[in-house]
Amino acid sequence: MRDLENKRRLDKKYQKSHKEEIKKQKHEYYLKNQEEIKNRVNNYRQEHLEEIKEKKKKYREEHKEEILEKKRIYRLENKDKVREGKKRHRLAYPEMKLASDIRYLTKLGFPNKLSPFAYRHALTAWSKTVKKLGHGLCLVCDNPATISHHIIHKAKYPGLSLNVNNGIPLCDPCHYDSHEWN
């Protein structure tokens, strides 16, 4: 028993003193056996899929507040990165954006008895009209307008969602500020 403890102690001492060397050896081993390692990992994942899912779910439940706080901090520190990522996602998956818009429009109750697609096209036309009336410039900072903002939000008063007097042209930063999104 004592020999085993001494061996462990020596192993730990060796690992501390030769940390970089061990790291290099592990990396070389990985490079030589990359395909085999990937296959073993994939096989393990397939065989233990349910167990892995349960562990992840349990971890997320136990550390929910911690995870949310980390996400919030990341979003605050990397606003531009997050914004660009969302933009890339919308461009890469327009069908998801469309489905999301339809769900949102269904919630609004479709003013003027329009179908989801007709209402979406009407909103696009409304947006273009508002930007044109504002000469394509942001009302706040005179940069090029990218968004038409509803003064009275669509969710609160869907009947006003297509009224051109209920819109102002804004650039992205001013739009984020108007909603107080950080």
| Per-residue pLDDT reduced to its tens digit, 7-51 | 666 677 666 677 788 788 888 888 899 999 999 999 999 999 999
Percent of the chain with pLDDT over 90: 38
pLDDT at 182 over 60: no
How many other C-beta atoms are found inside a 10 Å radius of the C-beta of residue 179? 9
- Range picked from 22-36, 58-72, 80-94 for highest mean pLDDT: 58-72
Tokens representing 136?
């394509």
Give per-residue burial for 13-28: e unless 16+ CB within 10 Å, then b. eeeeeeeeeeeeeeee
Lookup result for tokens 């997320």 = 60
pTM above 0.85, yes or no: no
46/93: higher pLDDT: 46
CA 170 – CA 178 distance, rounded (Å) = 9
Q: Of the candidates 122, 94, 95, which has an alpha carbon nearest to the alpha carbon of residue 108?
A: 122
CA 51 – CA 24 distance, rounded (Å) = 32
Q: Of the candidates 167, 162, 159, which has an alpha carbon nearest to the alpha carbon of residue 132?
A: 167
Q: Of the candidates 124, 181, 142, which has an alpha carbon nearest to the alpha carbon of residue 170?
A: 142
